[in-house]
Amino acid sequence: MGYALAEAGFTVVTGGYRGVMEAASHGAKEAGGTTIGITTDYFAARNLKANPYVDNEIMVPAYADRLVKLITISDGYVIMRGGSGTLSELFFSWEQVKNGSLPLRPIVLYGSHWKRIIDFLAEELTDELSFSSHLNLLHYANRPEEVVALLEKSLKRQRGL
């Protein structure tokens, strides 16, 4: 994913640590791209360091600051498979775009599992009407080139190109 994004000219911004974040940063560097990692003092105090593929590390004091920084410096979001941190990033960015706290930005959910998760939540949440009325802000992709195409199309539309 990082390779495809960097090859298309995107800077890859991640949480800066291991796993999918490191893989995306590594791919971006292999494609000659630029990477940014948003890290925290909290993890640094526990000897967790940014992955070696991060060009520009931005360290913030706390996890909540990291979440805000991740979504405010990005022009779009690619949500990969992950854990509770991934879910918090998805729902925080979606809520901020939904309520107008952030300008309209593409949110691309990568992988077939996301559709099942979102459909389940739309059916089960008590605020189903509000939730369902904003499903159009989410895009789904199963291949890196689909992600790039969705991001490029959304960003051109938002910029009036």
CA distance 22 to 26: 6
CA distance from start to end of the chain: 25
CA distance 71 to 79: 12
CB 104 within 8 A of CB 120: no
Give the residue extent of every domain in the chain.
1-74, 75-161
- CATH: 3.40.1400.10, 3.40.50.10070, 3.40.50.450, 3.40.710.10. Which one for 75-161? 3.40.50.450
Q: Per residue in 62-76, pLDDT tens?
A: 999 999 999 999 999
> Whole-prediction pTM value?
0.91
pLDDT-derived band of residue 161, with 50, 70 and 90 as boundaries? low
Q: Do domains 1-74 and 75-161 have the same CATH topology?
A: yes
CA distance 51 to 19: 9
Topology at the third CATH level for domain 1-74:
Rossmann fold (3.40.50)
Strand partners of residue 39: 59
DSSP letter string, 85-136: HHHHHHHHHHHHHHTTSS----EEEESTHHHHHHHHHHHH-TTHHHHHTTGG
Average pLDDT over the chain reads 92
CB 141 within 8 A of CB 150: yes
Q: Per residue in 4-32, pLDDT tens?
A: 999 999 999 999 999 999 999 999 999 99
